[in-house]
Chains A and B, each alone.
Chain A
Amino acid sequence: MRRNIPLIITFITGMVLILGYFVTRGPLHTLYESFSDYFAIITVFAFILGGGNLIKVHLRRIANRAKDWRYSMVTMVGFTVTLIVGMFKIGAPGGWGAAVVEPESWLQFIFDGIFTPLAATMFALLAFFVASASYRAFRARTKEATILLVAACIILLGRTPIGGWLTGWLPPELSFLDLPNLANWIMAWPNTAGQRAIMIGIALGVVATSLRIIFGIERNYLGRDE
């Protein structure tokens, strides 16, 4: 029974959401609209589950003095302070009745003064590692690697105004060799073809997995048999 009831719920919900999309009126479509409304409520529970899981994982790491447990302490302090400040609107000029995103509130300060610079710093570091990795790893070792190398250099130069400056002097009959044109061609043709192939493959995988879940063939989401 513990397995059959979730399977029945999944089957009915899945079928209603699939059929309700194609049937645009009647009770089936009303049910489809209601299920869409429930989504707004279910997402709230996802927050509680996500927060609960974060606390569980990091408290365990701290309790066991696991490797790098001090980082877990930082995570827990950051999580708790932000949660309390946001939930109880501490430091919000308008008090309890004010919006959580009110300017000059403590939560806004945490976002502007701590989160924004930290996130920007982490992302900015990427430029240094990309440059170092390009120098060491981007080698014309094989034919395929050479094609990748040439394409990368064309995109790097063609996606900046200097690309046009470098090859802008070419006569009109050779304009296809203009770096911005070459970069656009790479993006519009080989890139699009590759991306479409990946996307169609993923979409087929999603359809197959969804059908397996709806018809109860795939049951991993129910957890282990106890």
Chain B
Amino acid sequence: MRFPEALKRLDRRIIFLLIAASVALPLVWKPQFDDHATPIVQAIYDRMESLPAGSRILLALDYGPSTAPELDPMAVALVRHGIRKGHRIALFTLWPDGLGQINKITDDTIRAEFPDKRYGADYVNLGYKAGGGGAINTMMVNLKTMIPADALGALLDSLPMMAETRSLSDFSVIVSLTAGDPGLKEWIQFAGDIGGIPVMGGGTAVVAPELYPYYPQQMVGIMGGLKGASEYESALMLGYPDTERLEMAATVRMGPQVVSHVVIVLLVILGNIGYLLERKKSIRR
């Protein structure tokens, strides 16, 4: 079989094997890539830094387990940063399966790394509410109509960090990590634009391009995909050297992403070489 013919007939199982190897091998040998925060990510870090200690932050985990590998590292980095700065974090989700993500972040990051932080005073789980933009709109008018109690059933009035909140305007900043609708876009449209509350966040690499038009007027900054998370982690490690000893998931996962991206680009180039050789041959005929 000639070269162009071989390229044309390349079995897709070979491509699948290449991709599997390009993801699995870097997870074993764990190559490290130096990263730095681009201005759009640095803006999020700087906003978190500039808030006075004790500020209330609403962290909306608007995603489910399918996109967790991309978005969980962002949530972990934001929580690590926020708590180190002394901010109070309210976790919330507009996605029904986001509740599991909140539990994961609460158990694996907040309780594990900050055992001295008290539930209700330093952080709270507001759970899931249906309705997307409509729910946010109601929370803008009256937060406790939409969320009278936390995810564990305790009335918000009984929780020190939530007792005095009346609407979303009582939060210093809203951070949404989003895998689609409802998500960051709705937070900008129904809370940021209407209430003048700073909104920022992150999105999967698929979603992020849709959110760029809101930057910088309506959105403080955005982390796009795993790369955005890795940039935030590098900013965090630079600002808080004690975090260097912690596992930074996005930094570790950049290895498989780098190798798989290179493999895909090489496959595209190879496919086009085959196509051009084939076309040249047919023109000659």
Chain A positions near chain B (C-beta within 8 angstroms): 21, 32-33, 36-37, 39-40, 43-44, 46-47, 99, 101-103, 108, 111-112, 115-117, 119-120, 122-123, 127-128, 130-132, 134-136, 138-141, 149, 152-153, 156-157, 159-162, 180, 184, 187-188, 191-192, 195-196, 199
Contact = CB atoms under 8 A, between A and B. Distances in A.
Contact of A123 (B20, B66, B205): B66
A101 B66 contact: no
Given A39-B134, A120-B65, A160 B23 contact: no
Contacts of A111: 97, 100
A149 B268 contact: yes
A195 B146 CA distance: 32
Given A37-B141, A132-B12, A188-B212, A156 B97 contact: no
Contact residues of A: prevailing secondary structure: helix
Given A102-B152, A160-B261, 8 more contacts: A33-B141, A39-B131, A43-B134, A138-B268, A139-B271, A152-B268, A156-B264, A162-B258
B134 to A, nearest CB: 5
Interface string B120-152: 000001010111001101101110011000011
A124 B130 CA distance: 27
A208 B64 CA distance: 33
B209 A46 contact: no
B209 A36 contact: no
Contacts of B97: 111, 115, 119
Contacts of A36: 137-138, 140-142, 145
B142 A127 contact: no
A138 B260 CA distance: 17
B238 interface: no
A101 B127 contact: yes
B248 interface: no
Given A40-B146, A188-B212, A161 B258 contact: yes
A116 B65 contact: yes
A135 B10 contact: yes
Contact of B15 (A119, A135, A191): A135
A162 B261 contact: yes
A40 B83 CA distance: 31
A160 B227 contact: yes
Nearest to A184: B38
11 contacts: A36-B140, A36-B142, A120-B65, A123-B67, A127-B23, A128-B16, A130-B264, A131-B15, A131-B19, A132-B15, A138-B268
Contact of A160 (B125, B257, B276): B257
B70 to A, nearest CB: 9
A144 to B, nearest CB: 15
Given A120-B69, A160-B257, A195 B141 contact: no
B107 interface: yes
A159 B213 contact: no
